[in-house]
Amino acid sequence: MKNNNQLLFDKYKLIKSLGAGSSGDVFLVRHVSMDQDRALKKIPKDSAFSSSALSEARLLKSLEHPSVPRIYDFEEDESFYYIVEEYIDGETLDLYLLHQQLISPGLFFKICEQLCDVFIYLHSQTPVPVIYRDLKPEHIIVCQDQIKLIDFGASSYVSRTGNNFNHYGNTEFSAPESFTEDTITAVADIYSLGQLLQYILAFTPNNFSHKFQHIIQKATSNDPALRYPTVAELYHDLKDIKKINGQPHLIKKIAVLGSHRGCGTTHIAASITCELNALGYRAIFIDCAASGILRGDHDDLGIFSQKNGYFYYRNFQGIPDYNDGIQFDAPENAILIYDLGTDVCNEKIYDTDLILYICSGGFWHLNDIYHNHSFLQKMTTPLNVICNMCSKKEASDIAALLDCNVYHFPFDSSFFKNTAQKETLTLKLLDLKGGASPSERLKGYLRNSRLHHR
């Protein structure tokens, strides 16, 4: 591997090893002039996998889709091939779902839409379609709000009349014909999509998943002739369920304000940001209180990735409160979560759609809780009170003091971790703003998350 003045092939700076793949070692490199991180695969020429790795790279080079990794460069020397491709920073779908415990219908539909879109693209390639053949959760990477389909080693071009190939796949998700002498066609991928949808549905509410059983049954028929003939038709049936299911109308700007220091304003603002992103909406945490979350309290662990001024980790996405000298254009349809600390006079309060007022127990804080609430009540912006780190008795006392409904934030060890209880509370808070009611599908959880006191 040519290394000239610490640059590989005169353009890439070696950052670190990313581990070993099936075909060779993988490194994180940075294209110096483009200032972009990329992945470099180093494949021994005498490896049994070198031929399939080169075939995969040629295939990916011919494709251009947001869910397909891009191939940027190819180099070689006497002993190795070097393939430079898009660096994908995320989690495999199986690990991502385990971290969530329960995902919303909105996030389920978002994953389905992207999967269907990429397979419609692959199957529409001319003069012959691309058959993926090895779909499974480990081959899907979740990167913020985009999924990536990786490992095209088993993919092949298939003529429209059908040809037999070396048969590849996995026993859990691949079609039965993948392990026989039958012809492999695009409907083999439809079988895999059906099995994958069934897998993801296990992480959705029980009274939601049954709506898809007719789709699963048709997609996973053992007889290829009885399956959906195209992914587009499967997607059409998914969209019909989505229309019936309905989606909430979401607010755009949320101010999170605490009654006193240490009541957990930053923790709850960051938690709601993570939950909204897990629900399939783009939410951005904005640190208006100089809380330190983006400057050291967590970043000293090296967990955040940074790009274009944003800080990323799992479902968290945040930015500092940039001053007027730095222009920040909020992405379309993004929900902005302002962590205002205890600054009840912050001007951003007047430009939000919802105020979340955070309180915590202790009789010595009751005066602060009452004083700030009295001020916020005079505003026209909808106001919800959340009791954090409180017993039910303390929450009842606060509700009686303020003479209003309060919500009880569940005990939470990490705002990065998504739980059913936090998702339920987030859905309920947003439903108060209006729109369709996804939380109606979670009534059992809602009764446990809300404390109604007068």
Least confident of 12-21, 77-86, 236-245, 324-333: 324-333
What pLDDT, in 10s, does the model give residues 124-170? 998 889 999 889 999 999 987 789 998 887 665 443 344 445 455 56
Q: 368-379: per-residue pLDDT in tens? A: 888 888 888 777
3-state secondary structure of 198: helix
List the structure tokens of 234: 């499967």
- Is residue 116's pLDDT more than 90? yes
Mean of the pLDDT values across residues 182-209? 89
The residue type at 447: R
Dist. CA 382–CA 380, nearest whole Å: 6
Tens of pLDDT, residue by residue over 262-317, are 888 888 998 889 888 887 778 899 888 876 676 655 544 567 777 777 888 888 88
pLDDT at 107 over 70: yes
Find out whether 259 and 342 touch, Cβ atoms under 8 Å: yes
pLDDT of residue 122: 96
What span, in angstroms and rounded, lies between the C-alpha atoms of 385 and 355? Answer: 8
Q: How confident is the model at residue 448 (pLDDT cuts 50, 70, 90)?
A: very low
pLDDT of the residue at 301: 53
Residue 225: what pLDDT? 94
Q: 5-33 burial, b for 16+ CB within 10 Å, e for fewer? A: eeebbebbeeeeeeeeeebbebbbbbeee
pLDDT for res 441: 31
User: What is the C-alpha separation between 277 and 282, in angstroms, rounded?
Assistant: 5
Return phi, psi of residue 434, to 5°.
115, 175
- What confidence score (pLDDT) does residue 222 get? 94
**31: helix, strand or coil:** strand
385 pLDDT more than 60: yes
pLDDT attached to residue 3:
56
Statement: residue 453 has pLDDT above 50: no
Mean pLDDT of 395-410: 83
Q: Catalogue the long-range contacts made by 181-186 (C-beta closer than 8 Å, 24 or more residues apart).
A: 182/224, 184/131, 184/133, 184/158, 185/131, 185/158, 185/224, 186/123, 186/129, 186/131, 186/158, 186/230, 186/231
Min mean pLDDT across 18-27, 219-228, 334-343 is at 18-27
Residue 87 has pLDDT above 70, yes or no: yes
Q: Could you tell me the strand order of the sheet in which 146-149 lies?
A: 91-92, 140-143, 146-149
Q: Which of 87-91, 391-395, 449-453 has the lowest mean pLDDT?
A: 449-453
- Helix (H) / strand (E) element for 188: namely helix 187-201
Q: How confident is the model at residue 221 (pLDDT cuts 50, 70, 90)?
A: very high
Amino acid 444: pLDDT: 31
How would you class 148 by CB atoms within 10 Å of its CB: exposed for 0-12, middle for 13-18, buried for 19 or more?
Answer: buried
What mean pLDDT is reported for the chain?
Answer: 80
Query: Rounded to whole angstroms, how far apart are CA atoms 177 and 46?
Result: 32
The pLDDT assigned to 401 comes to: 85
Give the range with max mean pLDDT: 209-213, 219-223, 434-438: 219-223
Tell me what pLDDT residue 296 has.
53
- Structural domains of the chain ordered from first start: 3-86 (3.30.200.20), 91-245 (1.10.510.10), 253-451 (3.40.50.300)
